[in-house]
Structures are given as C-alpha cells and as structure tokens.
Amino acid sequence: MADIPVGTSGRSAAQVARAAALKAGEILMDRLHKVKEVSFKGRGNIVTDVDMEVEREIFAILGAEFPEAALLGEESARVRADEGLVWIVDPLDGTRNYASGIPIFSTVVGLALDGEVLVGVNYDPARKDMFAAEKGAGAFLNGERIHVSDTDAIEDGILGMDMSYNNEGAANGLDVVREIWPDMQTVRIIGSAAMGISYAAAGLTDLYFHHQLEPWDQVAGLLLVEEAGGVITDRTGKRAGLYSDGLVASNVGLHTEFMRRTDGMAWRRPTHELV
C-alpha cells in the first residue's frame, strides 16, 4: 500500500476526505431547493454561490489537516494537479442538475502525489452514497467492497456517458452511441461525470466514456475504477491520468471490445485535432 500522509489530528487522509465530503453534502442538501446565485462560465457550464461556499469549507478542513499540501479546486486559483502533494476538489459535480433541482450531483475530494492518486472519495448526498478508495486498499461504496461489472459483451451492457463542453467532442460521443446502437442494452447520460465513473466502478453500469474531463472531475474515479478491478484509459488506450484526453472505464474485456468498435471514429481523435 502507498505511504499516505496522516493529518495533524491523527486522522488518515481517507478519513479527512470523507469528513470534508460529508460536510459539503450537508451544505448542498440544505441549499438544494433554495434560491441560488448562478453565473455562466460557458454554454451549459455554470457556477453557483453554493459551489464557492462548499469549496471554501472543504479547503478549510483540508488545509488545517494537511498544511503542507497544495489545494486545487474547480472554482479556485490553479496549481498543477500532478506536481507534489495536492488535494483536488470538485465541490459540486453536476452543477447544472443542482441548479435545476435535479438530485443527481456529488462532491469529489482526492489526494494525489506527483500525479498518482492516493485517496479518492465521491459523495452523493441525495442518496447518502459514499464511494471511496485508497491506493492498494480496494474501492468501497458505503463500506462495502465494489467491483466493476463482469459483463463481457457490449450487446449485454449499459453504457454511460456525459456531454462534453467541447461541442464537437460531445457530438462525436453521440456518434459513438449511434454507431453501437442497437448492440447494447441502453445508454445513460446523468449529468455528472464523477457519478458516471463511480457507477462504472461499482458495476452499476458496465462502461463509461467521456470526451474530456478536468482533474477534479476524475480524480476519485481514476482510483475507484482501478481499485475495483477495472481499467480506465484515455481515448488512445493509454492508462488515464489527471490530465488525460478523455477516458473509457470498464472491465478489461468490455474495454477492449469498445476500443475495437470505436477504432477509426472521430471520437477517438486527440482533442487538439478537433479545434
């Protein structure tokens, strides 16, 4: 197991991450059906005053326990996610859902050392579902060990995806569904990439793919999938990291079939070729 630092209180990094996510969940649920201040970062990409409040609360908890670690959040000033010891936070993944009152969203808290994720949690406060993993120690949902799906054929599978803020990338993702359909059971687009990856890690869906994500979207999912016995790669098939160009998460066999079925498609091209 990796040598994971301990907080100033003596709590483990995983315990602190879970505590921070639970505190975030309390705030998110309290504000869910109340008036929020909403601003736009781009088409379909919004931020609320609740995002900001939750991020500040999480940073206060993490900073007090791990003063030596850098803090990177979706709504904060940037540091590199892959340099040194860094807490990486998405205070509210699924903000569009949250602002609309749709109860599908979560808080992501992850700890990485030089780009390798050591601890990752993704907490869904509406269902009180805590997905958590430590490097080398397995992946869990509410304390019960999870494993990726053992479905071995796409035609028997539930595929998950989400729309990208890259318009062409999103359209190409829909083309993947059109290409494979009807050789699958169904597809799910839930509006939270963090939840989508977590569902794949827990075997609730059989495969998840996305055109491109940020470190805070995928930090927990990277660890959850691998610790749940799965494989998670970028769109070229290389092991996914915090700055990967897209991702595909599943079991080994289904991942292999998906990559074969999508070989040569526009969705597989590097992002820089789409702009």
Per-residue pLDDT reduced to its tens digit, 195-227: 999 999 999 999 999 999 999 999 999 999 999
Identify the band that residue 275 occupies on the pLDDT scale cut at 50, 70 and 90. Answer: very low
Residue 271 pLDDT: 82
Instruction: For residue 80, give both structure tokens.
Output: 């590199």
Lowest mean pLDDT among 12-16, 37-41, 141-145, 265-269: 37-41
Q: For all residues of the chain together, what is the average pLDDT?
A: 93
Tokens of 38: 């909403």
3-state secondary structure of 256: helix
pLDDT digits (tens, 9 = 90+) for 97-147: 999 999 999 999 999 999 999 999 999 999 999 999 999 999 999 999 999
pLDDT band at 35 (very low <50, low <70, confident <90, very high): low
Instruction: Say what the pLDDT of residue 27 is.
Output: 96
User: What does DSSP assign to residue 157?
Assistant: P
What average pLDDT does this structure show over 169-192?
A: 95
Question: What value does the mean pLDDT take over residues 36-48?
Answer: 62
What is the distance between the alpha carbons of residues 206 and 211, in angstroms, rounded to a whole number? 17
Flag the least confident range among 75-89, 126-140, 261-275: 261-275
- Structure confidence at residue 140 (pLDDT): 98
> Which domains are assigned to the chain?
13-145 (3.30.540.10), 154-273 (3.40.190.80)
- As a whole number of angstroms, the distance between CA 61 and CA 203 comes to 31
User: Tokens 């794949």 identify what position?
Assistant: 200
Stronger pLDDT, 244 or 270, i.e. the higher one: 244
Q: Give the C-alpha separation, 246 to 186, whole Å.
A: 21
Candidates 247, 194, 234; CA nearest to 217 is: 194
Q: pLDDT tens for residues 20-30?
A: 999 999 999 99
Beta-bridged to residue 144, according to DSSP, are: 141
| Tokens, residue 204 | 């609730």
